């Protein structure tokens, strides 16, 4: 295997509470090459905070610690906040769940995409404009010239998410972290957004971390899947071996979702074991 692009070893995220410190992510380790890695877990499993720690975007008073957190050999934990702003966007980018909350509501989307380009590249407005329109067509927006002049509230959910992707990809990052990028979208639109991510990952040789609660979607899309439970990575498997998954939590999760053509009289309910969280 080639050198890993991202190395995470023994990652912990801690929040102080009035009852003492609570570890929300508890010793997660993984490495990421040029691949699509899925992180799956239920609400509160620590999957989003794992993604945010890599971006160094865990909100205070949360604390991040790790034995190693490195991007292309560069230690992210020793990076200053100022330097981090240059790495964010340029080297690692993040797409969040709902474009309604992540786009600036009072700025034309074209200008927002330009801004993300001009922050990282030395370009004048004309060049940036050309790049923005190019980026919009790369995410398969039919009439990029027209969409350039729209405000976020004039976009549909799927289009908004595509604009977000266009914006994140402008500085050509090496790693893209997508946190539930499609859960606010309809199934058919979801498929379109995934296909765009898929193409971009292939064409540009990017690495992708896809964070989601949807085990089925993630395993159909990614190369590897890491399953998280109560702040720990309980199992990592190749996506095509999903039916061979061993951890009882993952097995329970697969069994509890109704499938098309399901004739089970009752859905098996996940029986949680206190040992899983240990």
Residues that bind another protein (CB under 8 A): 42-43, 140, 142, 157, 186-192, 194-195, 198, 213-217, 220-221, 252-253, 256-262, 266-270
**Residues in Cβ contact with 60 at an 8 Å cutoff, skipping those fewer than 6 apart:** none
Can you tell me the distance from the alpha carbon of 8 to that of 161, in angstroms, rounded to the nearest whole number? 28
Q: Which is nearer to another protein, 198 or 241 (CB)?
A: 198
Q: Which is nearer to another protein, 124 or 262 (CB)?
A: 262
State in angstroms the smallest separation of the CB of 215 from another protein: 7
State in angstroms the smallest separation of the CB of 178 from another protein: 14
Residues facing 13 on adjacent strands: 25, 64
Q: Which is nearer to another protein, 137 or 192 (CB)?
A: 192
State in angstroms the smallest separation of the CB of 183 from another protein: 10
State in angstroms the smallest separation of the CB of 36 from another protein: 11
Q: Which is nearer to another protein, 45 or 50 (CB)?
A: 45
Q: Which is nearer to another protein, 84 or 239 (CB)?
A: 239
State in angstroms the smallest separation of the CB of 249 from another protein: 9
């Amino acid at each position: 295997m080639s050198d890993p692009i991202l190395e995470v070893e023994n990652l912990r995220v801690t929040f102080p509470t009035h009852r003492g410190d609570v570890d929300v992510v508890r010793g997660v380790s993984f490495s990421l090459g040029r691949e699509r890695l899925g992180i799956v877990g239920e609400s509160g499993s620590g999957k989003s905070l794992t993604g945010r720690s890599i971006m160094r975007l865990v909100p205070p008073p949360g604390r991040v610690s790790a034995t190693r957190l490195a991007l292309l050999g560069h230690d992210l934990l020793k990076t200053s906040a100022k330097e981090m702003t240059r790495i964010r966007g340029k080297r690692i980018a993040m797409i969040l769940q709902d474009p309604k909350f992540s786009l600036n509501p009072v700025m034309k989307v074209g200008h927002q995409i330009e801004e993300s380009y001009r922050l990282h590249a030395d370009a004048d407005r004309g060049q940036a404009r050309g790049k923005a329109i190019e980026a919009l067509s790369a995410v398969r927006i039919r009439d990029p010239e027209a969409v350039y002049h729209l405000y976020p509230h004039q976009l549909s959910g799927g289009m908004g998410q595509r604009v977000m992707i266009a914006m994140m990809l402008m500085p050509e990052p090496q790693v893209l972290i997508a946190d539930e990028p499609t859960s606010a979208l309809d199934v058919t639109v979801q498929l379109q957004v995934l296909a765009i991510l898929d193409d971009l990952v292939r064409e540009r040789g990017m690495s992708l971390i896809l964070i989601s609660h949807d085990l089925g979607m993630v395993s159909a899309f990614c190369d590897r899947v890491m399953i998280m439970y109560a702040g720990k990575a309980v199992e990592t498997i190749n996506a095509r071996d999903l039916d061979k998954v061993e951890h009882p939590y993952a097995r329970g999760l697969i069994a509890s979702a109704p499938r098309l053509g399901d004739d089970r009289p009752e859905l098996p309910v996940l029986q949680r074991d206190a040992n899983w969280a240990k």
